[in-house]
Structure 1
């Protein structure tokens, strides 16, 4: 999966930009320093976010450039963070039989899940992200509730039919974001 999170900004029903948080912030600052009627969404989660656009371009870069959080426990230069997990004895027995360390095996299993858009958990996460966006952007539009039901029922055909008459940018974004929800 893409490790860099993308964000999308809308002014009303018009998509302004989809890019990294820094580039979105920079673009919005150039367009409108007061952010009037501009909504920004995390494409992965569908959550709406607010940005502080004060200061210079360098200030925005320091504020919004993707910086890996460094913690003292684990191997922070490699991005490894040490935490405790609790497993049943049968799980520890299975891990002990593997060719790699327990941590390496668990990381591999998690990576397989993260990279499988067809997994049950990733499909549900995709549906929830689309739902959050829909609630914020089209909650008052016709067919909103029916489209939400079709989304959670996994009925792609009905979902696409119900959003057919939405403004072009909203419809295109919903089609793109819902690709892994079905």
Structure 2
């Protein structure tokens, strides 16, 4: 998807309670009075469920989730560069050699272009998979779940919206937001 900072969304049952980066989300959740429903937290980019450690004070939570990423030892760690190898055919190397930029710079530019294009084929598939993960966790036992999932992968927005129309408001709105570039 895009290269922006990843956000997370928390639900208590079918109620959306907060969205944000881990630090702010953990603090918001910690301040919520105990609920009878479990709080589920989803990575908005991948749709995967995650847990946040809410123990300690607000300052401890901020330190826990705002700390620097551990640096990799290979490449240029201060710049976030990780050294790896790729294998290309001769025709690919020939094409790269004809470009005005270095092979690495050109490959980074092509990848960044793809990452930042929400309507690219690969990003649409990633968005579908992310939405599917969320739906499986939140709606797996709901009526029309399987039909909604089929419509999602078929790219049938009309049928998808029809299948989710009776779902709880917050979940329906979250799904509409997650699928805005899919259809």
Question: Where do 4+ consecutive residues of structure 1 move more than 3 Å?
Answer: 32-36, 66-69
- The total of aligned residue pairs comes to 182
Kept in 2: contact 1:33–1:53 (CA 8 A) = no
Q: C-alpha separation between the residues in 1 aligned to 2:120 and 2:95? A: 22
Gaps of at least 5 residues in structure 1 are none
Q: C-alpha separation between the residues in 2 aligned to 1:142 and 1:48? A: 22
Shift of 1:36: 5.5
Q: C-alpha separation between the residues in 2 aligned to 1:130 and 1:104? A: 32
Q: Secondary structure at the match of 1:5?
A: coil
Kept in 2: contact 1:8–1:17 (CA 8 A) = yes
Kept in 1: contact 2:147–2:163 (CA 8 A) = yes
Gaps of at least 5 residues in structure 2 are none
Instruction: Give the equivalent residue in structure 1 for 2:45.
Output: 44
1:171 aligns with 2:177: no
Q: What TM-score comes out, normalization by structure 2 length?
A: 0.93
Instruction: Give the equivalent residue in structure 1 for 2:139.
Output: 138
1:116-135 matches, cutoff 5 A: 116-135=117-136
Moved more, 69-78 or 47-56: 69-78
Pairwise CA RMSD? 1.7
Moved more, 51-60 or 13-22: 51-60
Cα 1:72–1:179 change in 2 (3 A) is: same
